[in-house]
Structure 1
Amino acid sequence: MTSSSDLEQIESRIVSLVKDFAFLHADDSVASSCRPIADMVAKQAVTSSEGGKRLRALLTLDSFRAFASEDVRERDFDALLDLACAVEVFQTGALVHDDIIDDSDLRRGKPSAHRAFSTGTHSEAIGHGLGIMLGDMLATASVDIADKAAPKLTHGSDVVAALLNMHREVEVGQVLDLAVELNPLDDPDELVEASLNVFRWKTASYTTIAPLEFGMLAAGIGKDDARKQALAVGLPLGLAFQLADDLLDVVGSSSNTGKPVGGDIREGKRTVLLADAINAANDTQRRELIDMWEADSRSETQVKRAIELFEQTGAIERSRGRIADLWNESKTAIETLSLSEYHESLLIEACSRFVPSIHVQTRA
């Protein structure tokens, strides 16, 4: 099956699953005066769930295909598809919460959920509150979807346990992501270490490690081996993905990302890119960067200047090097899994979607 065919099934199935969970059921007793707000939240649940590259769901499916026997692939595909969708529904809930924390106006080129709620209710406070509840609702929906799919899958109880562990790791990661914002800027090496640690917990855990683990478990691999192999492949891949995403924030375009370029700079986020720039800067450049990030806000002129400094100090090139090294580590781990040539190629192709620029360079 092609990824385009997979994407069509993923999109339609997510909409169906989210609608079933988010909209009020016939026997739900809700006061008529409150029903319009409940309907607004349900509609936004669907809107927020639409679009995206679906990398996590695709990796879940391809991990399953790489490791499962033909009869298991045919028998369990529908349940596995729902599990893949559960990861995407969780991702949407995490993004809704992220946008509140980061005070973001846009998501996937549309108003972020809490902004849409604030407009719809004419209240910023209620809009933020509804956004928090929508994120919670989608996180719960992901567990419900996986729980219903698990009994139809091999190692179903281990699948549910892995999903719950994924939830926990992302929640820990979100705490660490906020904690790293308190890191001083005069020790860039420590900032790199702390930021990469956040990437492991907040991003890699559910972006690459869990999808690989779900596919392996559903294919019949035992939980200990599935966890070990998923970490070996997924951890460096997840770090590379987040580094690439941070890099795209300064070298990409709004039309491609759906978000304003330089968003991390405006927010004053402490990133690996910033740490590498401070590390390589001369005294004047270092002072300029630290002063910018220690200020309460950054102007558009300062955003452009920061990007210039990232380029001048070699931080952008350093980030590309980090991404390439991590991708090679992930690819090497795949090559140790004793897969057939076809299935090894399938898994490498699936993982390469997370680092497309490196993939292009590798294949050129």
Structure 2
Amino acid sequence: MTSPVELAGLRPRVDKALAAFLAEQRTRLTAIDPALAEVSEALEDFVLGGGKRLRPAFAYWGFRGAHGTDSDAVVAAVAALELVQASALIHDDLMDRSDTRRGIPSIHRRFEQRHREASWRGAPASFGESAAVLLGDLALVWSDELLHVSGLGPAELSRARPVFDEMRTEVTVGQYLDVLTQATGDTSLERAGKVARFKAAKYTVERPLLLGAAIAGAPAEVANSYTGFGLPLGEAFQLRDDILGVFGDPSQTGKPAGDDLREGKRTYLIAAAFGSLAEDDRAELDASLGDPNLNVERLRALIRDSGALTATEHRIDELMSASLAALEAAPIDEEARTVLHALADAATRRTV
């Protein structure tokens, strides 16, 4: 069965737009200094080396659903979302001290290793961390540039800009709330839900849909329908991500087993476990979260036996029901409705 991301040739078109843009940036950087070839190569490998391309797909089919006419300019514009995603992932891996991403070294580890192999001065880890901050920032800067040079007309850009800006603000403050929640040890479902909503849900589905609608000049009723569809779906996507962060297969996820537990993530799944465990088990979970030497299988058993895994799966089902009901009622193109339904399934039934 064809992946919904592949329909309309979208994935290769997005990749082509990204590759062309990044090639131009490579020329630009190496003209400044040949040493910047490593920066360019690292970002090309990171952006072009994998990823589900869900965000461009939601934006593109949001555009088509609002009766927008396909063009390479629209594809290039929605491809800019992958640079926002690259920025978020590079910074997220640094903050979480993750060693890998998609089965290869994370950016900070890549540059740490480069420092070590070259026997440069100073601490390799510090160099890698600094490089990751700067490359993540550069990807965010380039996301804005790619949108601007995509080929969209002035009116389309004017409509797209507020959505794009709001999305980048939301994902950044969502990341901060995630860090804050780990620091404070907040285990409430309310805080876990807010982090999920702003760190991932809105910028994974709702804002891309609204970006596509804005480019198409869609009326308010379409935008409102996309929010009704996209927000609960985005939350369901993040809850699936939370489950995979604890129970996922490393050969599928590209990250070590139980990575979210070692990082001390206070997700909806963890909040649900805290709400159901007996006092001793709750204390054990609280003490173990964030410990790099924790017993993954023991914590998995605690979470599973608490009923939190079942409760989170149930919450995903509830969110999906609300999302698909909104999609069914949305005043949009029928082909787009079918593809968006398939994208919703792909986002929440995935194993990576």
Regarding TM over 0.5, the answer is yes
Q: How does 1:212-251 map to 2 (within 5 A)?
A: 212-222=209-219, 224-225=220-221, 227-251=223-247
- Determine the C-alpha separation between the residues in 1 that align with 2:16 and 2:151: 20
> Partner letter of residue 349 of structure 2?
P
Q: Which moved more, 1:266-275 or 1:252-261?
A: 266-275
* Correspondence for 1:134: 135
What CA deviation, in whole Å up to 9, does each residue of 1:29-51 have, x standing for no partner? 44xxxx32x11111001011021
Instruction: Report the alpha carbon displacement of residue 227 of structure 1 after superposing the two structures with TM.
Output: 4.5
- Determine the C-alpha separation between the residues in 1 that align with 2:285 and 2:145: 46
| Higher RCO (CA < 8 A, seq sep 6+) | 2
Instruction: Report the alpha carbon displacement of residue 342 of structure 1 after superposing the two structures with TM.
Output: 3.9
Q: Which moved more, 1:231-240 or 1:319-328?
A: 231-240
- Alignment check: 8 A CA contact 1:22 1:45 kept: no
* Correspondence for 2:79: 85
* Correspondence for 1:94: 88
* Correspondence for 1:57: 56
* Correspondence for 1:118: 112
Determine if the alignment matches structure 1 residue 322 to structure 2 residue 315: yes
Superposed CA RMSD: 2.2
**Can you give the 5+ residue segments of structure 2 that lack an aligned partner in the other structure?**
117-123
Inter-CA distance 206–145: structure 2 relative to 1 (3 Å threshold): same
Determine if the alignment matches structure 1 residue 183 to structure 2 residue 184: yes
Instruction: Report the alpha carbon displacement of residue 298 of structure 1 after superposing the two structures with TM.
Output: 4.5
* Correspondence for 1:18: 22
Instruction: Report the alpha carbon displacement of residue 176 of structure 1 after superposing the two structures with TM.
Output: 0.9
Instruction: Report the alpha carbon displacement of residue 225 of structure 1 after superposing the two structures with TM.
Output: 4.5
Identity of aligned residues (%): 30
* Correspondence for 1:161: 162
Inter-CA distance 311–338: structure 2 relative to 1 (3 Å threshold): same
Inter-CA distance 107–23: structure 2 relative to 1 (3 Å threshold): farther
- Determine the C-alpha separation between the residues in 2 that align with 1:252 and 1:116: 24
TM (normalized to structure 2)?
Answer: 0.90
* Correspondence for 1:47: 45
TM (normalized to structure 1)?
Answer: 0.87
What CA deviation, in whole Å up to 9, does each residue of 1:130-178 have, x standing for no partner? 1111101110111001112364376320202211111111111111111
Instruction: Report the alpha carbon displacement of residue 330 of structure 1 after superposing the two structures with TM.
Output: 0.8
* Correspondence for 1:362: none
- Determine the C-alpha separation between the residues in 1 that align with 2:146 and 2:127: 28
> Partner letter of residue 145 of structure 1?
L
Aligned residues: 339
* Correspondence for 1:303: 296
- Determine the C-alpha separation between the residues in 1 that align with 2:272 and 2:52: 29
**Can you give the 5+ residue segments of structure 1 that lack an aligned partner in the other structure?**
359-364
Q: Which moved more, 1:337-346 or 1:207-216?
A: 337-346
- Alignment check: 8 A CA contact 2:226 2:330 kept: no
Q: Which moved more, 1:92-101 or 1:120-129?
A: 120-129
Tell me the secondary structure at the aligned position of residue 347 of structure 1. helix
